[in-house]
Structure formats: structure tokens, C-alpha cells
Amino acid sequence: MSEQANRSSRGVILVIVTIGTFLNPFTGSSINLALPLIGEEFAIDAIMLSWIPAAYLLSSAIFLLPAGMLGDIIGRAKVFSTGTLVYTFASLLAFFSPSASLLLACRFLQGIGGAMLYSTAIAIIADLYPPGERGRAVGINVMAVYGGMTLGPFIGGILTQLFGWRSIFFITVLLGCIVLLYVRRIPPILNENRRETFDYQGAVLSAIALVLFFIGTSRIPNTDAFICILLSGLTFLIFYRVESGKSSPLFPITLISSNRTFSFSNLAALINYSATFAVTFLLSLYLQIVRGMSPATAGSILLIQPFIQMVIAPVAGRLSDRTDTSRLAAIGLFTSSAGLLGLAFLGMDTALSWIVLFLIFLGFGLGLFSTPNTTVVMGSVEKSQYGIASSFLATMRSTGMMLSMGIVMIVFSILLGSTSINPEMSQGFLASMQIIFLVFFVLTILGALISLDKKNPDRRMEA
């Protein structure tokens, strides 16, 4: 495809795809600033409040691989366009949600649309750009993700403070409509059929395994939680056996077992997002509830991390075209670990300058990791495998984010129980947050070591 598309048309498509991928992080990071007000309006406890971001992540993790496979059957451009429509419609429903349960349902529906966007975005870019230019294009796309994360806390905080939390979904609807107006610019050639059959067995079994696992983690320390986790493990074993015998499986088992670079890079991504996604969620509650800040002030502080990521991502993309990408990714994770360790020692009156410094470390590390690691993944497979590689990497990202919130739920369940998070619970929340950040620190060190223990891709897809 890269030989048939000139530079100008590729640029237009890159802009369309990048704006589409901007929607997810923007809404997700914005809604974190609104969680205290949502919890107050619907009178929900800490665990239920955690489900507002978690419902989206669970849905996204379930549907990413099926959406990627569907893109290979009916066309990536069609799936991307449909995903934009679903995401926008779910945001409209969320705007009118009268209860927490209906809001959770809308977040789950948003996850389906988000999965369709993420599972095809990187594949479309990789299809358009040759290896020597792919890092820069991926860097621009990653920069948009971080741009959404950067603008989300700041704009979300202001919108929540001035107009209420529902205004966040109103802005998302407007952005989605803009993408829908221009999404037809994606050329029909990107709807090329790459496979004939859909793996229904794999899709159902993987969904059951993920749902059981996440329900189990949210129910710890109750007895039924461990039953759910055990059933999840058994379902995954069945899923593995079923997928191993298929020539065109949902889950790329053969690719993982035969391609060390692909498997280790995806594992590093899983660990990275497991250790970093819940940072904004926790700090939003910390700054507003423990420190008594307004949503707008808290959002202004939280934009520091993704802003640094947004600045570093394209630089890391250019470096990944010229140097050892595995080492870049490892350095990024080691840098992130320094920020997480600092956050583990936050107290009731820690100076804001220290918080800003820790967020700078975290943002620099994440920006340095994501683009090189994505480039390694896409450069380690054949062109015919771009779709499955893109959707699998996105699945690792969403699963990692889901695990990050799962860790939060486990610690909240043990230390806070069914109480709501309010200023009177500041000490208990602070102790929970410190433990969670220490767990995240250990995970990031492990991810950095895994990133070092892999080879660079052989760049086999020279255009």
C-alpha cells in the first residue's frame, strides 16, 4: 500500500487516524478528574467508582482482538469508521445517564468503539509507511494519544468545575462528529480482505476468561473472588488448547512462541501499562480529596506527565529509526520507575514541586518507551501480520490498563472496603495509594529488564 499512496494522501490519512485515536485518551483522562463529583452525585463507594474507568478497559480488552480480526475480514477502514460511530454514540448516551449503572453500561459501549479504533489505527499506519518512515508516523500517532492525555486532565478539570462532569461527554461527541465527517477520506484500498473466517470460539472464550478474571480481582478478599479467578484460569487453558489447533486463530499463539522479539515487546507493554495507567486515577483523588484542590487545579498539575510524554514521543520515534530500540524502551521504563518510587512516598503535605518532578520523570520515561516499543512490535512481523500485531499490541495495552485498575481494586478492597472516598478517609486512602505505587515501581523494573532481554527486529518488511 505504501507504494500506491503518495505522501500527501498518506498525510491526510495519518491525520484522520490520529484524531480518531485522540478520542479515547482524552475522554479517559478527562473523566478521572470528574470521579469525585460522579461519586458524590450517585453516592457510590470506592470500588464502584473504580469501575467507571475499569468498565471501559474491560470492554476494550475483550473486543480488541476480535475487532482486529474483523478488520482483516471486512476491511480496516470500515472497522475504524464504525468504531468512531459507536464511540460517539456511547458518549452521547453517557451524557444523559441518570444512574451509575447506566453510566457503566455506556463506558462499556465506549470500550467496544475504542477497541475498533485502536485495533486498526497502527495497522493502517504501518500499511502506509515503510520501515524508514514508520517510526516518525507512529511517533505522531503516539503523540496524539499523549496529547489527549495532556489536554484531558486540564480541560476535564475546567469543564467539571464550570459545567459538571457530563460536559466531558458532550465535548467527546463533538470531536467524534468531526472525525465522522472526514473518515470517508480513507481510501477503499485499505479495506482489502486479508482473511475469510472469524474465530467465534476464540472470541467467546477469551471474553469469558477476561470477565471472570476482572470480576474476581474486584471482589477480593471475598471467597467468590478466588472462585472467579480459578474459573478464569481454567477458561484460558481451554482457550489456549482450542487456539493452538487452528490455522487462523484469534490469538497469535504461533507468532508468540516463534517470535521472541514480538512476545517480549508485548510483554513489556503489558507490564508498562499495568504499572502506570492508574497513576492519573490515584493522583486525581489524592489532589482533590487529600489536598483539597479544585478539579481545575488538580487537572493543571496532572497535565504535566502527558505533556512531557507528548513532547518526547516524536523524538523517540525518530531515534527508533536510527538506534537500538530495545535499549531506548528499557531506559524509558527505568526512568518511569524513578517517578513511581517518588510517588510512593507522597504524604499529606508533600511539596507540589516534588509531585511535579515525579510526574516529569514518569512522563519522560513513558514517552521514551512507547514509540520505540511499538516500532519494535510492528517491525518484528511480516506485512501480512500487521493487523494481528496491531490489535494484539492494543490488547496488551488495554489488558495492562485493566490490570492496573485491578491492582487498585484489590488494595482498595482490603484496606478501604465498601466505604466511599472522602476527606475523612484521607489517611486510609493515602496508605492504599502508597502501597499501589510501590507495586507499580516493582513492575516497571521488571518491564525494563524484559525490554533489555530481546533483540531488535530484523526489519524484514522493507517496502
CATH architecture assigned to 7-186+250-452 = Up-down Bundle (1.20)
12-14-17 Cα angle (round to 5): 110
Residue range 387-445, pLDDT digits in tens: 677 777 877 887 888 888 888 888 888 887 767 777 777 888 899 999 999 999 999 99
pLDDT of residue 454: 57
pLDDT of residue 199: 83
Residue range 241-284, pLDDT digits in tens: 888 877 777 776 777 778 888 888 888 888 988 998 889 889 98
State the pTM of this model: 0.75
